[in-house]
Amino acid sequence: MKGPTVLGAFLESDTEAVRVYRSLLTNPSWTLQDVQRHTGLAEEDVRAAVRRLADLSLLSPVTDSTFLPMNPETVFSPVLRRLEAELDAQRAYLTKHQATVAELATEYAALGLRHTAGADHLVGVDAVRSGLEQLARDAVHEVCTFTPGGAVSAAGLESARPLDEESFGRGVRMRSVYLDSVRNDQATSEYAAWLTSKGGQVRTVPALPMRMIICDREVAVVPVNAEDSRQGALVVRYHGVVRALAELFELVWAQGVPLGEETRPSAEHEASDRDRVLLKLLSEGMTDQGIARKLGISVRTIRRLMSDLMKRLDAQSRFEAGAEAVRRGWL
């Protein structure tokens, strides 16, 4: 059975087989000797490539020395469908655990503890900033961050640069997840590109559950209330909680698109990741203003996206759009 590993190996690393296949695709009457002359490959390499292509059902023998190329879409479509199903399952898993961790963090924050053996409550902008700077300076191996809220001010970005530079100088690995909307903001995009140039990694997603920083998988900083930054932040050192937050980060990271690559477009009859997030937030009763804050874009953009989504779903109202989205499996 041909699986994702076989497909990936063929497309990514079996360059000789791909060259042979393309030669026969454009010249189906060629013999193996013709292919050898055209590609410059050794005879044994051509024959080995033909055997691999035949094993993949991409070539069908006509004579001892001629082969007919088969349609790769037909050959690999079952594999691609299985990969799509696995991605859908991962998205559902991610959505479920995002909500659970966010709820747990909110309940934990509701305890109102200023200090325990495993947590500190930072109150006030200055205390939060000072605490974050100290944790970043203490990091030895890795710093992982969620940065929701859309574009960051140029002044805020520049003030963070020296600390990030210092972390890179100590060999600290840095991974950051921003909202897709920052791709439209020059200052934030340039800063993210600078992080990448220094060895950091930056990805974007349609939505983030909260602002979060994890240092060395030993300590995490989360807001007391994701909707009200004035309530301060919690510095958490409980191993179980930090481990759960680190797992949440990895789930979101796996769904992110690296900065510099285009976000995945959706066909007319398919839902993009942003479509699914938008539909989910609407189904939860969130207002346009709330969704705009969550995705880091304007209310006008939210309404434009919703109008486009309704057209694609052939719906006259948001209620109809929701029902049709459920029918199609988008929600």
Task: Check pLDDT > 80 for residue 46.
Answer: yes
In a domain, 77, yes or no: no
- The reported pLDDT for the residue numbered 233 is 83
- The reported pLDDT for the residue numbered 151 is 65
Q: Do 98 and 138 have their domain in common?
A: yes
Task: Check pLDDT > 80 for residue 156.
Answer: no
In a domain, 59, yes or no: yes
Q: What percent of the chain has pLDDT over 90?
A: 4
Task: Check pLDDT > 60 for residue 133.
Answer: yes
Confidence of residue 2 (pLDDT cuts 50, 70, 90): low
Confidence of residue 277 (pLDDT cuts 50, 70, 90): confident
Q: Do 164 and 254 have their domain in common?
A: yes
In sign, the C-alpha dihedral spanning 210, 214, 218, 222 is: negative
Task: Check pLDDT > 80 for residue 51.
Answer: yes
Task: Check pLDDT > 60 for residue 76.
Answer: yes
In a domain, 321, yes or no: yes
Q: Do 55 and 116 have their domain in common?
A: no
Q: CA separation (Å) from 21 to 30, 33, 61, 331? A: 11, 14, 13, 40
Strand, coil or helix: 63: coil
Q: Do 228 and 128 have their domain in common?
A: yes
Strand, coil or helix: 206: coil
pLDDT top residue among 215 and 274: 215
Q: What is the CATH number of the domain that holds 33?
A: 1.10.10.10
Strand partners, 214: 144, 220
Which backbone phi and psi does 90 adopt, to 5 degrees? -65, -40
Task: Check pLDDT > 80 for residue 292.
Answer: no
Query: 64: domain range?
Result: 4-70
Tell me the H-state helices in the chain.
4-12, 15-26, 32-39, 43-55, 72-109, 125-138, 154-169, 186-197, 239-255, 273-283, 288-295, 299-312, 318-328
State the chain's mean pLDDT as an integer: 78
Q: What is the mean pLDDT of residues 146-175?
A: 81
- The reported pLDDT for the residue numbered 185 is 78
Find the range with the poorest average confidence among 139-148, 218-227, 288-297. Answer: 288-297
Q: How many domains does the chain have?
A: 3
Task: Check pLDDT > 50 for residue 113.
Answer: no
Q: Do 138 and 239 have their domain in common?
A: yes
Evaluate whether 241 touches 220 at the Cβ level (below 8 Å): yes
